[in-house]
Amino acid sequence: MAAEPVMTAEEWFEGMRHARPPTPDDVTVLWDGRRLDSREAVMAWLAEVDATRAEEAADGTRAGT
Amino acid sequence: MPGPDGPPHDLPRLIEVLNRHEVQYLIVGGAAAYAYGAERPTEDADCVVLRQRANLARLAGALRELHARLRVGRMTDAEARALPVQIDATLLDLAGMSTWMTDAGPFDVLAGLEAADGRLVPYEELAERAVAIRGDGLVIKVAGLDDIIVAKERAGRLKDRDALPELHALRDRRRTSG
């Protein structure tokens, strides 16, 4: 028999108000394992995201012609 | 080293925004374990989302409404707010697991939960075993307890290992009473 939650949404909300803040090592991890734990790492990844957006836009333009 | 500061957990607001944007998600990790009666305090509101493009676009809309900014270990929340992060489906698709600070507190988006064989179990499969927390017109999907336990066993971090005896006890108690 599968376990079921033992509280209502209101009780869950109240309990979670006391959750601890996350730790500094809890950061975004990319599919290839890179961790975005510094401004430099984030900026490098954002450049890759922009390149992907440009490819998607180009593909969309080609598909529309 | 600056830590991840920012607003505290405001789950009613977070859930309201996710639901209003019709994001398909389910709660996992310590927040889900708490719903089963675990007493260990958790740190995050973790969720697994359906990784279809349209759903990621809806999630992006919800995160933008909550003024989400990446949590970056060596940056303060104020510094992270200044990063030129454009939240859209492409960005969410390219991040395997993303950690955010929002106006409703910290919020993490996972691609799935790890199975015993190391495979990443996606939303579609977890949802088949998910259960619901209900109240005040809300339905919040929570991953199955077995899926939560296996993921914590696989994660192998100290905080996950420490949580396991209590989760095993909750599962065993349920089996005994069921």
What is the interface pTM, i.e. ipTM, of the complex? 0.89
User: What pLDDT was estimated at residue B1?
Assistant: 42
- Strand ranges in B6-164 using DSSP code E only, listed in sequence order: 25-28, 46-49, 69-70, 98-102, 105-110, 113-114, 120-121, 131-135, 138-142
Query: Pick from A40, A7, A29: which is nearest to B46 by CA?
Result: A29
Is A23 a domain residue? no
Q: Are B48 and B112 in contact, with CB atoms under 8 Å apart?
A: yes
Contact A36 B72 (CB under 8 A): yes
Is A9 a domain residue? no
Tell me the DSSP string of A21-40.
Answer: PPPTT---B-TTS-B--SHH
Question: In chain B, where are the structural domains located?
Answer: 11-171
Is A48 a domain residue? yes
Contact A46 B12 (CB under 8 A): no
Q: How many CB atoms lie within 10 A of CB B43?
A: 19
Looking at chain A from residue 11 to 30, which residues have their Cβ under 8 Å from any Cβ of chain B? 11-13, 15-30
pTM of the model: 0.90
How many domains are there within chain A? 1
- Select the residue of B15, B99, B133 nearest A28 (Cβ to Cβ): B99
B26 pLDDT more than 90: yes
A61 lies in which domain range?
Answer: 37-65
- CATH class belonging to B11-171: alpha beta
Q: Are B93 and B49 in contact, with CB atoms under 8 Å apart?
A: no
Q: Which residue has the tokens 């490819």?
A: A55
User: What pLDDT was estimated at residue B136?
Assistant: 79
For residue range B126-139, list pLDDT tens digits in order. 999 999 999 878 89
For residue range A4-35, list pLDDT tens digits in order. 878 899 999 988 888 888 888 889 999 999 99
Cβ-count burial B45-71 (b if 16+ within 10 Å, e if not): bbbbbbbeeebbbbbbbbbeebebbbb
- Select the residue of A3, A9, A36 nearest B36 (Cβ to Cβ): A3
Q: Read off the tokens for A38.
A: 């510094």
